[in-house]
Amino acid sequence: MFYQSNPWNVVLKLRRLLSNCRKRQDPRSLLSRTQLYELMSEVGFIRVFSVYNDFVYAPLTRRLIWLLRNLSIIFENTPGVQTLAGSILIHGQKPGTVELPTVSLFAHEQLRRSVSIVIPCHNEETNIGPLLNRLRTLFDEYIHELIPVEDNSTDHTAEVIRSLAKEDSRIKPVFRQPPGGVGRAISDGYRVATGRYVLSMDCDFQHLLPEVRELFDAAAEGYDVVIGSRFSRHSVLLNYPFQKILANRGFHLLAQFVVLHRFRDVTNNLKLMRREVVEDLQLKQPGFAVNAETGLQPLVMGYNIESVPISWVNRTSDMGTSSFNLSTAGGGYWQVLFHLWLKVAFGIGMYRTLRMKEMRADSVARTRNA
């Protein structure tokens, strides 16, 4: 909803105390946590909470500014340390149904009817309908086809998808048979996609869909792969589990040494790729580690890649629960990294036949002339 200086920051409190001693009172009237939440409740908001943000504030040296910019995501989500943030993002919700804007975000004629959208679905009966409807509202002109991949759900996801497919011929569902797994679902969705571009996303992204336009903007500039980065300096994470942040940052730090590229986030499923990139991928992972394959393999192959900042909001109770489990999924990520290292260093491993490409200077020109 809005940002304000963090009134609970002990550094700020100390500076205000020193200013008062010097008879230089802070002109800002910052509320305490209790006062702030009470005020929000009085004007009709529910589910009020704050997110700590920004560790770059005076007095800092240049080196500290660089360090804190790169570590802010971790600090903002570290218990205890997060209270030292310079500002907070206040979030609240009005009760009842909120009318979302219906304006189209279509902006690039060269991408008209060119995008296949692949959405793995497992027990997403409450999410898949709103997501598909919202996609058609905001990005209808981009859509070539919508491919929800129903992955052995035990709820009514399949029935919801069948009903939606009857309303729009562009909805082309895939109904998978066991064994399940998000990696298998994404792979099957990629296999049937026929658009010039393929966009993959999760079912719980419906509330942040306007941010997807940044991916289309980058694709229109000529990038082969565009990744929505949750760990950009401009990203906002709401209730992202701290253990997942540590595991994610550790994985990405090591991955940069393995593939000899700098990047912030390649394991998010929100990716927009040219179809020829998708066709070159070798997806071996049955589970969530497929997101590491789809992020790292294009880098190794030499495709032209861009990251754009996106936000991340943890599922609320009405959206169901995610099937991601760090303890069971983590091994797959390290397996991907190990075999990519074997490929890069020795040309062996399960990705040994992955085609290597030179960075292509004509990539931008080909897109602009498409």
DSSP 164-227: HHHH-TTB--EE--SS--HHHHHHHHHHH--SSEEEE--GGGGGGGGGGHHHHHHHHHT-SEEE
pTM passes above 0.85: no
- Tokens matching residue 154: 């035990």
Does the pLDDT of residue 315 top 80, yes or no?
no
Cβ pair 227, 253 in contact under 8 A: no
Q: Are residues 203 and 244 in the same domain?
A: yes
Residue of 346, 247, 322 whose CA lies nearest to 292: 247
- Tokens matching residue 295: 């992020």
Q: Are residues 174 and 135 in the same domain?
A: yes
Cα–Cα distance, 131 to 129 (Å, whole number): 5
Q: Are residues 225 and 284 in the same domain?
A: yes
CATH number, domain at 246?
A: 3.90.550.10
Note the Cα 60 to chain centre separation in Å: 30
Cis peptide bond prior to 59, omega within 30° of 0? yes
Cβ pair 135, 119 in contact under 8 A: no
Q: Are residues 176 and 55 in the same domain?
A: no
Q: Are residues 47 and 134 in the same domain?
A: no
Q: Are residues 197 and 69 in the same domain?
A: no
Domain presence at residue 353: no
Domain presence at residue 291: yes
Domain presence at residue 101: no
Q: Are residues 84 and 196 in the same domain?
A: no
Q: What tens digit of pLDDT does each residue of 115-126 get?
A: 999 999 999 999
Instruction: State which residues form the domain around 26.
Output: 2-93
- How many distinct structural domains can be found in the chain? 2
Note the pLDDT of residue 319: 65
Domain presence at residue 104: no
Q: Are residues 87 and 115 in the same domain?
A: no
Domain presence at residue 363: no
Domain presence at residue 307: yes
Q: What tens digit of pLDDT does each residue of 47-99 get?
A: 777 778 788 777 778 888 877 777 787 888 888 888 888 888 787 877 766 56
Domain presence at residue 294: yes
The CA angle 89-242-327, to the nearest 5 degrees, is 150
Note the pLDDT of residue 65: 80
Q: Are residues 230 and 268 in the same domain?
A: yes
